Amino acid sequence: EIVLTQSPGTLSLSPGERATLSCRASQSVSSNDLAWYQQKPGQAPRLLIYGASSRVTGIPDRFSGSGSGTDFTLTISRLEPEDFAVYYCQQYGKSPLTFGPGTKVDIK
Amino acid sequence: EVQLLESGGGLVQPGGSLRLSCAASGFTFSTSAMSWVRQAPGKGLEWVSAISATGGSTYYADSMKGRFTISRDNSKNTLYLQMSSLRADDTAVYYCALPGSGYPIKPLDYWGQGTLVTVSS
């Protein structure tokens, strides 16, 4: 199975700052089949990005995804108060689907 | 509006069995693949299983193979997860999720609110 590693584990930033989250795969993710999810406490995850860089309808354009092969990045250009949450990457290029361990973005 | 409502969670003893259900509405269930994802308390997300629209193809995480069975009843718009030989490390919130594309191994666009399964004596 493809193992995903996310870094950092926790990112402490202030509103208005830029957040850069990394996701690395143990082998190449086919067709850039990589998604990003946001999860807030007590809520179900929400899909943000699919295909490594395509934003889901309704997701603000301050969220962007990039990368290919084994290295992927989620960037939040200017953090809003509602963006403080845990972010997971997921590969769906090969069964079994796998998730990364998550990056928590918290308020500095 | 897509709605996914899980039920069937609760307290079960180690070695026991439980069947989870997910009632779906707001989309054409019979043409949609579905998935289960779980999250242990304070931990990350773990994909459990997926099923094709017809139920003819099923997929499992290695750690669940042989113990969990995913199925569906398209006449009732309901997804199931039969869990057996349950262990303490199966304790988690179990989410039902819908891939937007209709295929099983795809991003999960819609999620239910989850049902908590606790395995303990």
What is the pLDDT of chain B when averaged over all its residues? 96
Q: Are A15 and A79 in contact (CB under 8 A)?
A: yes
Mind listing the pLDDT tens digit for each residue in A35-59?
999 999 999 999 999 999 999 999 9
Counted across chains A and B, CB pairs separated by less than 8 A come out at: 54
Sign of CA dihedral A100, A44, A51, A56: negative
In B, minimum Cα distance to A31 occurs at: B106
Q: Are A65 and A36 in contact (CB under 8 A)?
A: yes
Hey, what are A5's tokens? 């590693």
* pLDDT of chain A, 108 residues: tens digit per residue: 999 999 999 999 999 999 999 999 999 998 889 999 999 999 999 999 999 999 999 999 999 999 999 999 999 999 999 999 999 999 999 889 999 999 999 999
In A, minimum Cα distance to B45 occurs at: A99
Contacts of A46 in chain B (CB under 8 A): 111
Show the CA angle centred on residue A9, arms to residues B88 and B35, nearest 5°.
50
Q: Which of B45, B112, B114 has its CB closest to that of A88? A: B45
Mind listing the pLDDT tens digit for each residue in B76-111?
999 999 999 999 999 999 999 999 887 888 899 999
User: What local confidence, expressed as pLDDT, does residue B101 receive?
Assistant: 81
Window 23-82 of B: residues touching A by CB (8 A cutoff) are 35, 37, 44-47, 50, 59-62
